Amino acid sequence: MTRSPLILISSNVEQKGDAFGDLSISLSETYQQALLGCGAIPIALPATVSREVIAECVSRCDGVLLTGGEDVDPRLYGNGLPPRLQGTVTVTPDGGARDLRELVLIDEVFRQRKPLLGICRGHQMLNVALGGTLWPDVLAQRPRALNHRRMDRRSEIVHEARLTPGSLIAKIVARHRLGVNSTHHQAVARVAGPLKVAAISNDGIVEGLELRPGAARMLPFLLSVQFHPERLADRYPEHRAIFQAFAQACVLSRKNML
């Protein structure tokens, strides 16, 4: 009997705790349900920046999921925000510890060659970690863009993404266009060198990334998306297929390492 793949999830950070008001990690059950629904077992990454601990966590898991959350600190990919954008970015309440933790996590994923799925902030963080940049505020910097911050319809399809022919996500969902939800105000600007665009919205916002052919040997599976398939997986088979493909890649990767 095949053992269920163990998926390490990078959680969000909240500025409150159940009892004492401490900083706490939080993890939407939608991520967990999407993984459980395809036979995987989710486990949260501890709130630490210790490379030793993070490396051990990656070593024990079969794959890594980078989740959504607050904005990525602009200092990681630029020289600060223009004056007109001051106040538009909401960084993590832990003083940047989540950013550092995920930079180490991504580095360990590549070092240990584990399958990786990035969602929303995770999609952006991956691009930054590999040398790319972001639009800190899409509405202010791309005035002709769609309204991508549809928090009122966070679990509903609000626009389409065009999938690059032959891309990993196009193969997974078996279509050329994919209806997606949209709850972000930052977006990928300059794509990192090892990555290529796998999906794009009609207004030019990057909705999906994967490894370039020459870099594909770096990981057994890598896909990042700007939307939230975990909030659609219970009703849309094509979004559920993303998690199924990720879980299957984790099982195959573990077998290849034995």
pLDDT band at 5 (very low <50, low <70, confident <90, very high): very high
Indicate the average pLDDT of the chain. Answer: 92
1 occurs within a structural domain:
no
pLDDT above 60 for 1: no
Unique residue bearing structure tokens 């090892």: 194
The pTM of this model reads 0.95
Question: Quick check: is 60 in a domain?
Answer: yes
The tally of domains found in the chain comes to 1
In a domain, 138, yes or no: yes
Q: Count CB neighbours of 139 within 10 A.
A: 14
Average pLDDT for 121-140: 93
245 alpha carbon, distance to own chain's centre: 15
Q: Is residue 69 part of a domain?
A: yes
Per-residue pLDDT averaged across 116-132, rounded?
98
Q: What is the pLDDT of residues 170-187, one digit of tens each?
A: 999 999 999 999 998 899
Q: In this structure, is residue 126 part of a structural domain?
A: yes
- Provide mean pLDDT across the span 70-92: 80
Give the per-residue pLDDT at 15.
72
Average pLDDT score over residue span 43-57 = 97
* The amino acid at 51: R
Percent of residues, the chain, with pLDDT higher than 90: 70
Angstrom distance (rounded) from CA 119 to CA 192 = 16
In a domain, 147, yes or no: yes
Residue 50 pLDDT: 97
> Token pair 């053992």 is at which residue?
3
Q: pLDDT by residue (tens digit) across 83-99?
A: 777 777 887 888 799 99
80 domain residue, yes or no: yes
Q: What are phi and psi of 204, to 5 degrees?
A: 90, 5
The CATH number for 65's domain is 3.40.50.880
Q: Which two tokens stand for residue 1?
A: 């009997």
Tell me the two tokens of residue 179: 């209806």
Any domain includes 110:
yes
Q: Which domain holds residue 147?
A: 6-257
